[in-house]
A and B are shown apart, each in its own frame.
Chain A
Amino acid sequence: MTSAAAETPFRRIASDFADSRIAVFGLALLGLIVLMAIAAPLISPQNPYDLAQLDVVDGRLPPGSVSADGATFWLGTDDQGRDMLSAIFYGLRISLSVGVASTVLALALGLALGLTAAYFGGKIETLIMRIADIQLSFPAILIALILLAVLGQGMLKIIAALVAVQWAYYARTVRSAALVEKRREYVEAARCLALTPARIVFRHILPNCLPPLIVVATVQVAAAIALEATLSFLGLGLPITEPSLGLLIANGYQYLLSGKYWISFFPGIALLLTIFSINLVADQLRDVINPRLQR
Chain B
Amino acid sequence: MLVYVIRRSLQALLVMFVMSILVFVGVYAIGNPIDILINPLADQIEREHAIAALGLDQPMWTQYAKFLAGALHGDLGRSFVHSTPALGLILERMPATLELALIAMLIAILLGIPLGLWAGLKPHSIAGRSIMAGSILGFSLPTFWVGLMLIMVFSVMLGWLPSNGRGPTKDFFGVPVSFLSLEGWRHLILPAINLALFKLALLIRLTRSGTREALLQDYVKFARAKGLSNARVIGVHVLRNILIPIVTIIGLEFGSVIAFAIVTESVFAWPGMGKLLIDSINLLDRPVIVAYLLITVFMFIVINLLVDLLYSMLDPRVRMADSKG
Contact = CB atoms under 8 A, between A and B. Distances in A.
A136 to B, nearest CB: 11
Contacts of A235: 278, 282
Interface in A101-157: 134, 137-139, 141-142, 145-147, 149-152
Contact of A276 (B23, B136, B156, B281): B136
A256 B27 contact: no
B294 to A, nearest CB: 11
A276 B152 CA distance: 22
Contacts, number: 102
Interface in A157-203: none
Interface residues of A, number: 40
Interface stretch (A7-15, A41-49, A71-79, A225-233): A225-233
Interface string A261-291: 1001100100110011001100100000000
Contact of B266 (A152, A234, A272): A234
A146 B293 contact: yes
Contact of A256 (B18, B30, B152, B281): B152
A276 B134 CA distance: 11
B149 interface: yes
B140 A230 contact: no
B178 interface: no
A279 B140 contact: yes
B23 A230 contact: no
Given A134-B15, A139-B260, A149-B289, A279 B148 contact: no
B304 interface: yes
Is the contact region of chain A dominated by helix, strand, or loop, or is it mixed?
Answer: helix
Given A249-B145, A275-B140, A283-B136, A142 B30 contact: no
Contacts of A279: 136, 139-140
A230 B259 contact: no
Interface residues on B, range: 35 or more
B255 interface: yes
A102 B143 CA distance: 21
A139 B255 contact: yes
A179 to B, nearest CB: 14
Interface of B: 15, 18, 23, 26-27, 30-31, 133, 136-137, 139-145, 148-149, 151-152, 155-157, 163, 255-256, 259-260, 262-263, 266, 277-278, 281-282, 289, 293, 296-297, 300, 304
Interface of A: 22, 134, 137-139, 141-142, 145-147, 149-152, 222, 226, 229-230, 233-236, 246, 249, 252-253, 256-257, 259, 261, 264-265, 268, 271-272, 275-276, 279-280, 283
19 contacts: A138-B255, A141-B260, A146-B26, A149-B27, A149-B281, A150-B31, A151-B30, A226-B142, A230-B142, A230-B144, A234-B266, A234-B278, A235-B278, A256-B152, A256-B156, A257-B155, A257-B156, A257-B163, A268-B145
Given A151-B30, A249-B145, 8 more contacts: A142-B296, A150-B30, A249-B144, A257-B156, A259-B156, A259-B157, A272-B140, A272-B145
